[in-house]
Amino acid sequence: MVFFFLLFAIVGLASAVMVVTRKNVMHAALFLLLTFACVGATYVMLRAEVLAAVQVLVYAGAVMVLFLFAILLVNMPEAVRLRQWTRQSTVAVVLAGLTGLWLIIATVRAFTGFAAPPEAATQPLGTPRAIGEALFSDYVLPFEIASLILLAAMVGAIVLARETAREEERPDEALTDLPPDTQEDQQPV
């Protein structure tokens, strides 16, 4: 168990570092896929099998396909040769490192020796039945709000894509709808 946790944690963290440091966006996306898989494996070790399935379906499936489509649509090979880092990189790394160090120290001090209750190993908590019953009884309002958010995201994505499409059509309209004073050749004086 400890071996598998260390394996998934180290592979996940290493591929997360690769996501942040790669120049090629496609390589970063594929390393992100590996990170998602490792995070899903830790969900399985925490006995959240439903969430692991959702992680693989939504993150490694849907979100990843979205990223790959976006990368292919706006493919810019010369982007690899551009400067990759902002000018505040050093300050940002130092600040994020200090924050992470503080977070790690705080959690280790607060939760060392915090063991799972004995029934955690025998009966899994997040069975599909339990999650479904909770979603459709106590959490039915957040569930509906989540569906509204997804609808709004869908409409928003379509609107953002359509707006640019209309801008591309505009030159054609300008050619057909010429103002009358420019059509001098058709009106002999």
Partner 1 sequence: MPLSWYLVFGALLFMIGVVGVLTRRNVIIVLMSIELMLNAVNVTLISFSHYLQDLRGQIFTLFIIAVAASEAAIGLALVISMYRGKSTFNLDEVNVLKW
Residue type, 74: V
Among 120, 128, 140, 144, binds partner 1 (CB under 8 A): 120
Pattern 61-100, partner 1, x by CB under 8 A: -xx--xx-xxx-xx-x--x--xxxxx-xx--xx-xxx-xx
Stretch that binds partner 1, among 125-133, 172-180, 181-189 (CB under 8 A): 125-133
Would you tell me how many other CB atoms lie within 10 Å of the CB of residue 158?
10
Residue position matching structure tokens 């899994």: 124
| 8 A C-beta contact, residue 9 and residue 38 | yes
CA dist., res. 26 & res. 37, Å (int)? 17
Stretch that binds partner 1, among 117-125, 172-180, 181-189 (CB under 8 A): 117-125
Compute the radius of gyration of the chain from its Cα atoms: 26
Binding of residue 7 to partner 1 (CB under 8 A): no
CA dist., res. 24 & res. 18, Å (int)? 10
CB nearer partner 1, residue 111 or residue 173: 111
Q: Kindly state the smallest distance separating residue 172's Cβ from partner 1, in Å.
A: 17
Pattern 13-52, partner 1, x by CB under 8 A: x--xx-xx-x--x--xx--x--xx--x--xx-xxxx-xx-
Positions 138 through 177 that interact with partner 1 (CB under 8 A): 139, 142, 146, 149-150, 152-154, 156-157, 160-161, 163-164, 167-168
Residue count of the chain? 189
Binding of residue 111 to partner 1 (CB under 8 A): yes
User: Among residues 38, 30, 32, 29, which one has the least CA distance to residue 11?
Assistant: 38
CA dist., res. 16 & res. 10, Å (int)? 10
Among 11, 34, 56, 126, binds partner 1 (CB under 8 A): 126
Q: Kindly state the smallest distance separating residue 171's Cβ from partner 1, in Å.
A: 14
CA dist., res. 41 & res. 39, Å (int)? 5
User: How many residues sit close enough to partner 1 to count as binding (CB under 8 A)?
Assistant: 90
